Amino acid sequence: MDRIRIVGGQALNGVIQISGAKNAALPLMIASLLTQETLTLENIPSLADVGMLLRILGHHGVDHSIDGRRLGAAPHASRAIHLTAKTIVDTMAPYELVSKMRASFWVIAPLLARMGEAKVSLPGGCAIGTRPVDLLIMALEKLGASVEIEAGYVHATAPKGLIGAEIHFPKVTVGGTHTALMAASLAKGHTLIVNAAREPEIVDLADCLNKMGARIKGAGQSAIEIEGVGALSGASHSVLPDRIEAGTYAIAVAMASGDVVLEGARADLLQSALDVIEQAGATISVTNEGLRVRRNGAGLSPVDVTTAPFPGFPTDLQAQFMALMTKAKGSSRITETIFENRFMHVQELARLGAHIRLEGDAALVEGVDELQGAPVMATDLRASVSLVIAALAAQGETMVNRVYHLDRGFEHLEDKLGGCGAIIERLSGAG
């Protein structure tokens, strides 16, 4: 199993190209099931989760081909994937596939909307909490589907098609909003989604669906309206830049100090996080290329943070920011409101010398003068990259084990950091 070795103490200077957003790419790929025609998605990151979803879509009959970077394309442009679901060969998604990636449960919406039936395994547990699918099921039932849960599978049927309806989510749900958008696009009549998620990845999906012929208004707001259409066509769409990757590298620069341009990053996608990183001591400016992040090595200031749905501080940057606060001059309080069990990185940060105390849904971080390198274990995607950030500023060598978590969400992480001066290398097949 691969490990990543990091020797801390090096400032970061240079350019990091921001990849396409994983959290947008996955639902966009799933949307290919809605049409017989080819959906071309550009700027798709090369990630383990993308490869797994391609295998899952192939099970349903989706053919795909992948282009490399086009000659003359922008440096941060990534691959293009052509997806064609001309014939759906199977409307069942088995446990052995769905259990490997939770987002694959979302195939239930386009399969049901297009074929009138879908049988999809419940995804099971998750390292950062249960992430229940009850709100996704509720949305499909509001659109007229009959849903039964039997032997660990959700069996949804709508033999006469889905019917537009009002869907009121009792709490903001990104997965529920993605599901409702895809299902309602092919439903008969008008659908109103109330308390919809406002994340940029929701807007990206709606933009792509509209290019395919859907009639969606209000994405990015708390109320979204959809007029169902009889069929969707193919389209070409470029995935938006990954705001979580951009925020992660901005925090890395704040931690290690230096001067880095995040090429392709967009401030509007993560302004609340950028505000907090600046309060901690970094200087962030918008440039023609993206975002420039600088820190001169002066002390970090403690900042209290509470995670919240967009446009609030993202839960997917909570672990990274906690790593930053371990070196702040004073105490900070980090409150997690989105997922339970999302503090598993705390005990591993403690191995590096961090002083963190948990109080329910909050972590109290007392900054220390120095972190010390040590062997640590990744527990989930964001926790693993928080250990990398801490290691960049730790004295000596840190070995991050179980880095397959990183490969799920960060494209060429060691190459990007190494290109800016970090001493970082992947040790293949070790440990």
What is the CA 414 to chain-centroid distance, rounded? 19
* Residue 352 counted as an annotated binding residue: no
Residue 134 known to bind ligand: yes
Q: Annotated binding residue at 135? A: yes
**Is 114 marked within a binding site?**
no
In whole angstroms, give the CA distance from residue 323 to residue 349. 7
Burial readout 257-277 (b: 16 or more C-beta within 10 A, e: otherwise): bbbbbbbbbbbebbebbbebb
SS3 for 226? Answer: strand
> Is 288 known to sit in a ligand binding site?
no
Gap between the Cα atoms of 139 and 162, Å rounded: 11
**Residue 364 assigned to a binding site:** no
| C-alpha distance from residue 126 to each of 99, 132, 157, 255, 405 (Å) | 9, 10, 27, 29, 13
Out of 66, 73, 74, 126, which one is annotated catalytic? 126
CB under 8 Å to 231, separation ≥6 — which residues? 35, 36, 186, 213
User: DSSP class of residue 343?
Assistant: T
- Our answer to whether residue 208 is catalytic in this structure is no
d(CA 242, CA 61): 28
Ranges assigned E (strand) in 50-91: 63-67, 79-84
Residue 102 known to bind ligand: yes
Point out the annotated binding site for phosphoenolpyruvate: 22-23
Residues with active-site annotation = 126
Point out the annotated binding site for UDP-N-acetyl-alpha-D-glucosamine: 102, 131-135, 316, 338
Point out the annotated binding site: 22-23, 102, 131-135, 316, 338
